[in-house]
Structure 1
Amino acid sequence: MKNNKIFLIGLLAMVFLTACNEDVLEYKPEGLLSQADVSTTENLEGLVIAAYAGIANDEMVGPITHQWVYGSVRADDAYKGGGGIGDVDVINRYEMYNLTIPDYGDWMTPKTWVNHYKAISRANFALELINEASEADFPKKTLRQAELRFLRAHSHFMLKLLFKKVPYIVETMTAEEKANATNDMTNDELWNMIADDFLFAYNNLPQSQDEVGRADRSAAAAYLAKLRLYQAYEQNDTHQVTSINPARLQEVIDYADDVTGALEPDFGNNFLDGFDNGSESIWAAQFSINDGTLVSRVSFVTGLNSPNSTELYGCCGFHLASQNMVNAFKTDTNGLPLLDTFNDVDIFDSVDGNGKAPLAPGITLDPRIDHTVGIPGRPFKYRNTVNEAGDMIYNFSWARDPGVYGYFGNMKEQQAPDCSCYVKEGPFVGTSKNVDFIRYADVLLWKAEALIQLNQVSQGIAIINRIRDRAANSTNRPINAGATDVYAIGTYPLTLSKEDALKALKFERRLEFAMEGARFFDLVRWGQAAQVLNGYVAVEKTKRDFLANAQFTAGRDEYYPIPQREIDVTGGLYTQNPGY
C-alpha cells in the first residue's frame, strides 16, 4: 500500500457517492444522511475527498485520466491494436477519423463527457455546502474551496481539449440556469472561465500540501501555464490557428517559473511503481491497493492494453506503438533526432527465426525508445531474466494480431506482473500506479516553447537540452539486449534559428511524451494536425492495410462531436462542432 499520507478516498465518500442522477449537470450524490448531517465539518471534508475521487473514477470505456485513446491512437503515436479492427470498433473509427455522425456507434466519448460532468458535479455539490459554512465552524473553508475549484477547472479543461465548446457549470448557478446553460461562447471566453477557477486555486493554495495528492499552488501554476499556452494559439471557428498571442506566452513563462518540481534522475522512474508523487509528478490521479476497501482503488483505464501473454498478463493487446513513432527514436552521428528524414527507413521492421527484431548496424537510438516501446527480443519493463514473473523479454508472440497491427507493444503504462501494485480481474489488468496529468518535464517544455516563440531561442534550447541530458543518463536499468544496440543522444547548439528550434521543440515533446496521450492535442494546438496526420497516414497505410481509408478532415477532426444525446436532452441548446 502506498504511503498512508496519500490522500485518496475514504469510507465517507463511499456513503455519499453510490448513485447517479439522470441529469448529469444536476448530478448530486445520494446517501443516507440529511443535509444538516452532511454539513458537519467531518462530512464536508468527506465531500472534498469524494470530489477528488471523481476525477479518477475512470474506466476502459469512458476514460478520463489516461488519454491513450483520444491523444495517442488518434495521433501518429500508436495503433488501436486488439483482435482486429472490429475489436472495440469505435476506437477504429477514431483512428480512421470517421466520426461524421455523432453517437452513431460511438459510446465512448459520450461516457467520457458524462464522467467528467459527474466529477464537476461532485465539486459543485461540495462547494454549495462549504460556501454556507462559517470560517469559525470550518477553518479550512477557503483552502477546500480552492481545491474544489481546481478540480472543477481540471475537468472542464479536459472536456475542452476533447470537445472545444462545452458548458461551464458552477455551484452558484440555479437549477434553471444549469438546465439552460449553453456551450455558445468564444474560445477565449471559455479559456478564461477555466482560468478563473485555477487562479482562485493559485491565490489560495499553499505551495505544497502535507497530504500528498491534494492540489497545491504549484499544480495550479502548472495548469495555468498549460492553459495560457493553449490559449496563446488563437483559433477561428474551424479550429485553424490564426495568430499566436505574445502576452499569453509571457504568462506561460511566469507561471512555469512558479512551479516547484524537478526531473527524476532516470526517465524510467516516471513509469514505475514506487515513484508516485515524486519530484516530477506535479499533478496526478491517485490510486491505491490493499487500502481496506473491498476491491481496492486501482486504475483500469489501460486495462485493455497489457501484452497478449496469457502466462504473464492476459489480454488484450491494445495501444500498440506505430512504426512511425518507433522510427522517430533514431539519431544521427551527433546523437540528434532525424527531424525531417526519420521515417525514410524503418527500424525493427522484421523478426528473425528466434523471434527477435534486430537493429541494423550503424543505427543509433535515443534510449527513451526502450522505456516506451515493447520490441521483440528486448527486455520488457527492465527485466532481462526469467524470474517468478516468467521470462520478461518481450516476445513476438505477445502481439495479438501482428498481421494487422504489427508487433510493437507499449511499455510506459505497464507494470511487471509480480509488482505489488498489480491486480488482475478476469483478463483485465489494473494497477495502483498513479496517472500523471502533468509532469515537470511538461512544464519545462511549455516554458521552452513560449521562450522560442518569443524569440528567446537560446534559452528555450537550453531547456530542451536539460530534457535530453536526462534521457542520456537513463540507461542504467536493463533496457537493451545486444551488442548491436547503440544509444547516442546529444544536445542542440544554442545557435539554432527560431524555425529550427521550434521544430526541435515539437519533436522533443513527441519523444518525451510518446504514448502518454499528449500528441494529438499538441498537434491541434500548433495547427498542424491535418498536415502531420495525413502525411503519417499516407506512408503508414503502405505498411498497415487497416489505414487504407483513413483521412483527417481539417476544420472537423481537431475535436470530437458534442454527444448527440446531450444536444437532444437540452432541446438543442448545445451547438454542434463544425462538420458533424
Structure 2
Amino acid sequence: MKRTITYVVITAFGLITSCKRDFLERDPYGVLDETDYFKTDGAGLKLVTGCYQPMQDGWGYTVNKVAIGDESVDNADAGGSDPGDRPQTTEVGRGRPLSSNPLLFETWSNRYRGIGKCNIALDALKREGSNLVENGAPLPSEALARYFAEIKFLRAWYYFDLITVFKEVPLLVAVEDPSTRKGKASIEELRNQLYIDLDEAIAEPNFPRSSELPDNETGRATKDAAYTLKARAALFFAGLMEQGKMEGDALGEYLIAKEMAGEVVNNGQLQLLPDFQDLFRGDYQVGPFSKECIFGVLRKFDPAFGLAGDPFAIMNVGRNNVGGWGGNTPTRDLAAAYDPADPRKMFTIISHNDIFKTSSGGEEIHNYRGYFNDYNLQQSRKAFVPQAYRQQNDLQRSNWQPYWIRYSEVLLIYAEAIIRTGGNHAEALNYLNEVRHRAYVTTSKVDEPAIYRLFATGLKAIDEATFASRYAIKTSDDILQAIKKERRFELALEGFRLYDLIRWGEYANTMKAFHQKYGFADKGRDASENSWPFPIPQIEIDRSNGVLVQNSNY
C-alpha cells in the first residue's frame, strides 16, 4: 500500500514539473482585454448605457434628488418611522448642515460616479470608435456621433445637479490618474463647460429630437432634453448673477433661457397631456410615453431580467397598513398654497383617512398616524402606486418612474424668460395659462383608483368661460409672481423647489418664515444667506490632501 501511494505521488509530481511553462501563464477564460472588448457586438451602446446607470440608483439618485430638492425646503418634510429615520434630510432642512451630512455626500458620490462613467465612455469612444460593432456590422459613424452627444448631455446633467447643491466643485472632463487631486473650479468655469457640452450635443445632427425617438428608445436623452437643461441652467445662473453670487450678464442668461425654451416650444412638436392624472395615476402606461415626458428614467419590475422597482415608490409612501416607509411628507404649507379648485392638489398630496381601492375590491384607508408624520398627516400622491398597478400588492413591484423633464416645465421656463427679458406679457401668459388650463379645465376631478379623497371635495367641472374669468392669469396680474406660484403647484415633490428658491434669492426668507409659522422639526431654524451653497463633504476634502477647500460660508 505504501509503495502504491509513493508511485502516484511521484508520477503526479512528474506530470506537474514536466508541464510547459505557457500552461501556467495562460490568460484566464472569460476575460477580455480592452481592445478585444471594443470589438464585441454592442460595446459602444453598453458604454452609453453605463452613463445612465447612476440615475437608476433609486437611493443615490431618485430618493436623493427629491430629498434635496423638496424635503430640504418648504414643500415636504423627511418623514420616516421616527426622527432618527432620515436625520440627514432633516439636518439639511434646518439650514445649516454639517460637512459630514450623508445626504450631501450621497449627492456628491453619485453624481461624480456619473461624471466618471461619462469621461471613461468619451475617452474609449474616441480611441476605439472605429472598432465598434453593432448587430454584426461596423458601427455607423452617425450612431457614434449620437453616442458622443448623448454622453455630453449626461455629463452636463450630473454637473448641474452638483452646481445647484454645492455651487463650485472640481471640474473633470477627462480620465484622470487616480492619484490626481483637484480643487474647485469657479462657477463661471463650470458654466462654460456645461454650455460647451450642451452646445456640442445640440449641434450634433444625429442627436434626435424627442419627436424623432422611436418607441423602443423611450427614456434616452434627446436634443429637446439638452435645450431644456440649458434653459434651466441659464435661469439658475441668471439668478446668481443678479444676486452677485457669480460674474456675468444676467440678461444674457435670460435670453439664452428664452431661446432654448422657445426652440422646444416652437419646434419640438411636444404637448401637454390633457389630463394631469395620466402622469401620476400609478400605472405609468401613459405619461412616460407621451409627448409631455421629455426626459425620465423608465422603470419596470421584471425579475426575469433582474429589473427591480424604484425604492422611491416604497420609501415615500405612507406606513402602517399602506406598507410604505413614510418618507417625503408634504407640508401643510404646500397644501395651503393650492387653490381648492385646482385638482393638482389632489394628484400631488394624499391626506390621512383617504381611501383607495384594493386589488381585491376592498378599501385601503390610509392611516398616517404613529410615525414621523403626525404633524403633516400627508403623503405624496406622485409617489404612490395603488394596488391595481402593482404585482402581488408589493410597493416595490411596480413601474413607478420619475419625470426629470416635463413639457409643462418648458412652458413655464419660456413664460418666465419672456417676462425677464422685457418681452410681450400677453405672449408669456399664453404659455403660463396653457399649464393652468390643463389643470383647471381638462384634468379629471376624480382620482380613479380612489374611493374617497379629501382634496376632491368641492372639485367641479370648469368651463372655458369660467376659466377665463376666474382662473386664467391676466395682464393686470403680477405675472412673475404667478409664474413662481405655478412652478410650485405644477412641479411640487419632483425635486425643483430648492433650485427655484436659490435662483430667486428667496431661500433664506422663505425658510425663516416657514420656521416661524410651523416650527416642526426645527425646519428653517438656521436658514440664512450663508446656508447655500451647502458644505462640501469633509471626506472629499480629506481625500484631496487639502487641495479641495471647504466653501467659505462653512
TM-score, with length taken from structure 1: 0.78
Which residue in 2 is equivalent to 1:258? 263
Which residue in 2 is equivalent to 1:572? 546
Give yes or no for the alignment of 1:122 onto 2:117: yes
Which residue in 1 is equivalent to 2:228? 222
Contact 1:55–1:151 at 8 Å: present in 2 too?
no
Give yes or no for the alignment of 1:369 onto 2:364: no
Pick from 492, 506, 511 the counterpart of residue 533 of structure 1.
511
- Over 3 Å counting, the alpha-carbon distance change for 1:478 and 1:315 in structure 2 is closer
Deviations 1:478-530 (A, max 9, x none): 37658952457643343236xx1111110111111112221111000111101
Which residue in 2 is equivalent to 1:307? 318
- Over 3 Å counting, the alpha-carbon distance change for 1:308 and 1:36 in structure 2 is same
Q: 2: distance between equivalents of 1:377 and 1:264?
A: 29
Q: Secondary structure at the match of 1:79?
A: strand
- Aligned amino acid, residue 88 of structure 1: R
- Aligned amino acid, residue 321 of structure 1: P
Query: Shift of the alpha carbon at 1:374?
Result: 0.7
Pick from 158, 162, 165 the counterpart of residue 159 of structure 1.
162
Query: Shift of the alpha carbon at 1:417?
Result: 2.7
Q: 1: distance between equivalents of 2:336 and 2:246?
A: 28
Which residue in 2 is equivalent to 1:76? 74
5 Å-filtered alignment, 1:343-492, equals 364-379=340-355, 383=356, 385=357, 387-388=359-360, 390-392=362-364, 394-395=365-366, 397-401=367-371, 404-420=374-390, 424=394, 429=396, 431-456=398-423, 457-472=425-440, 473-478=442-447, 481=453, 485-487=458-460, 490-492=470-472
Q: Secondary structure at the match of 1:292?
A: helix
5 Å-filtered alignment, 1:482-521, equals 485-487=458-460, 490-496=470-476, 500-521=478-499
- Over 3 Å counting, the alpha-carbon distance change for 1:262 and 1:240 in structure 2 is same
Contact 1:399–1:408 at 8 Å: present in 2 too?
no
Which residue in 1 is equivalent to 2:292? 280
Contact 1:188–1:231 at 8 Å: present in 2 too?
no
Query: Shift of the alpha carbon at 1:386?
Result: 5.3
Query: Shift of the alpha carbon at 1:552?
Result: 0.5
TM-score, with length taken from structure 2: 0.82
Deviations 1:527-553 (A, max 9, x none): 110111111111112xx3x32882302
Query: Shift of the alpha carbon at 1:158?
Result: 1.0
Query: Shift of the alpha carbon at 1:239?
Result: 7.2
Q: 2: distance between equivalents of 1:367 and 1:79?
A: 22
Q: 1: distance between equivalents of 2:298 and 2:244?
A: 33
Structure with bigger gyration radius: 2
Gaps of at least 5 residues in structure 2 are: 1-29, 132-137
- Aligned amino acid, residue 262 of structure 2: D
Contact 2:350–2:453 at 8 Å: present in 1 too?
no
Aligned residues: 490
Which residue in 1 is equivalent to 2:305? 293
Q: 1: distance between equivalents of 2:285 and 2:308?
A: 16
Q: 2: distance between equivalents of 1:170 and 1:193?
A: 9
Q: CA RMSD for the aligned pairs?
A: 2.7
Contact 1:48–1:148 at 8 Å: present in 2 too?
yes
Query: Shift of the alpha carbon at 1:434?
Result: 2.2
Deviations 1:284-331 (A, max 9, x none): 12222216323x142113532111133xx323211111111111113x
Contact 1:102–1:561 at 8 Å: present in 2 too?
yes
The 10-residue stretch of structure 1 (441-450 or 128-137) with the greater mean CA deviation from structure 2: 128-137
Contact 2:165–2:533 at 8 Å: present in 1 too?
yes
- Over 3 Å counting, the alpha-carbon distance change for 1:501 and 1:515 in structure 2 is same
Give yes or no for the alignment of 1:169 onto 2:139: no
Contact 1:300–1:430 at 8 Å: present in 2 too?
no
Contact 1:233–1:241 at 8 Å: present in 2 too?
no
Q: 1: distance between equivalents of 2:123 and 2:65?
A: 30
Q: 2: distance between equivalents of 1:526 and 1:89?
A: 27
Give yes or no for the alignment of 1:102 onto 2:99: yes
Pick from 209, 213, 225 the counterpart of residue 209 of structure 1.
213
The 10-residue stretch of structure 1 (245-254 or 471-480) with the greater mean CA deviation from structure 2: 471-480
- Over 3 Å counting, the alpha-carbon distance change for 1:297 and 1:184 in structure 2 is same
Q: 2: distance between equivalents of 1:421 and 1:188?
A: 48
Contact 1:81–1:405 at 8 Å: present in 2 too?
no
Which residue in 1 is equivalent to 2:200? 200
- Aligned amino acid, residue 552 of structure 1: A
Q: 2: distance between equivalents of 1:484 and 1:39?
A: 60
Q: Secondary structure at the match of 2:295?
A: strand
Query: Shift of the alpha carbon at 1:266?
Result: 0.7
Q: 2: distance between equivalents of 1:119 and 1:252?
A: 25
Contact 1:307–1:399 at 8 Å: present in 2 too?
no
Pick from 498, 511, 522 the counterpart of residue 547 of structure 1.
522
Gaps of at least 5 residues in structure 1 are: 1-30, 331-363
